[in-house]
Structure 1
Amino acid sequence: MDMTNIACTEKYQAQRKEQETIFTASNFQNSEVIQLSPEYRIEKNTYATANISATENTLLNSKNDIIYRYRNLDDSGEFCKLINHSNGNIYIVFRIDLYGYSVFNITENKAFHYIPEENETFIWTDIIYNPVNNILVVSGCFWACPFGIHILNFSQPMIETTWVDIHKQLDDGYDKYDDIDFTRWENDNLILKASEIYQCGETSKTRNIEIPISKQQYSAWLHAK
């Protein structure tokens, strides 16, 4: 799987320019406000055609100053989360396309975009950041596959890093587990909930279980990448 970042390539930028023709008054659908914190909010405008839905998003502060603006060309499972990082900076993490992710450093007014060369990579739909260990837990899925969790080292948010697919790290992974989701951090342990597939006679059934991932386990997975 080619995970080369193409966000700044001429080919991808030309593709974006062509797709951004969706942002016309005739395609406008609705507006909404997403309150990220008492200080920051997103004003989101949605545009759609018969084939695709996209959004134009404006980040504002409590004084109504425009801080940043971005467009997401495919809003399936769209998200935007504010992070108060352990390094003292404030970030938002979001998407500008179906695949990949973006980070905007509000404190330093800098943006980072990651778009993988290959389509059909993991689609980010939500994140949970732990400032104690700088682990970013990412919820999402591969297209038409069970929902799952990826984790990554988020100590340097503006630099590319590898993602660890929890399904693939567990014994029998995708064969044994359907959806996997985040539950909580318990000290240094990552606690997940999963829909486990098991046999009952000749019938396949599922049951909900918790899966604890120790610091030793996830640290080894991250360092192996």
Structure 2
Amino acid sequence: MALVTGGSGGIGSEIARRLAIDGFAVMIAYSKSAEAAEKILHAIAQAGGETALVRADVSNAKDVQEAFDATINRFGRIDVLVNNAGVIAPGMIADVTEDTYDTVFDVNVRGALLAMREAAKRLQDGGRVINISSTLVGAPIPGSALYAASKAALEAFSRVLSKEIGPRGITVNTLRLGATIPGMFAKAPPERQAAFAAASPFKRLGTPQDAAEAVSFLASEGGRWVTGQVITVDGGAT
């Protein structure tokens, strides 16, 4: 059974769909996009998958706990957590406000930590934690400071958690995704999208399916010997 945060977005919904194809019952956690969440719920159900929805603001500890409660009450257990929920607020460091900082770090850092805290206590032995990061951590661009820093924190949490719950057979890994459309990068100017596509030997941007395939592997039995890693999924662009 898998819990996917940010499951109504372009990348999150494809991850949920792929995990359902792999045989997981999937709880889709969403914050605001109820219509999009319902759409992926129906798509998975029509394909024969087992799925449900839970509304949760991951920056709120009570909401995160209730999302885990709802998942266990519905499906009996949690084997996989995919920490996909995230927000981005582009802006130069000189223009950063405290409110913008709070917006980004409340979701990307606090939210990820709260979800991992629950996973550390409630995931089944032999389970998986898969965190979604960004290549901006290693290859930042102007205006990406808050997002890159928040994802760097996520990667640090991931490495530490892999040591803490590894004795229970639980793997913890992070995927550094490159520019992906549809996704947050869809809002980037066309010239920036073209530049990122040109940086890959494949001369294209990533897709949610590319991300979902990597998640599928890490969630599978084949991923049992991979833990504490940050894996770049960007078509060789960096």
Calculate the TM-score normalised by the size of structure 1.
0.28
Give the number of the structure whose alpha-carbon radius of gyration is greater: 1
Choose between structure 1 and 2: higher strand proportion: 1
Calculate the TM-score normalised by the size of structure 2.
0.27
Structure with the greater relative contact order (CA < 8 A, sep ≥ 6): 1 or 2?
A: 2
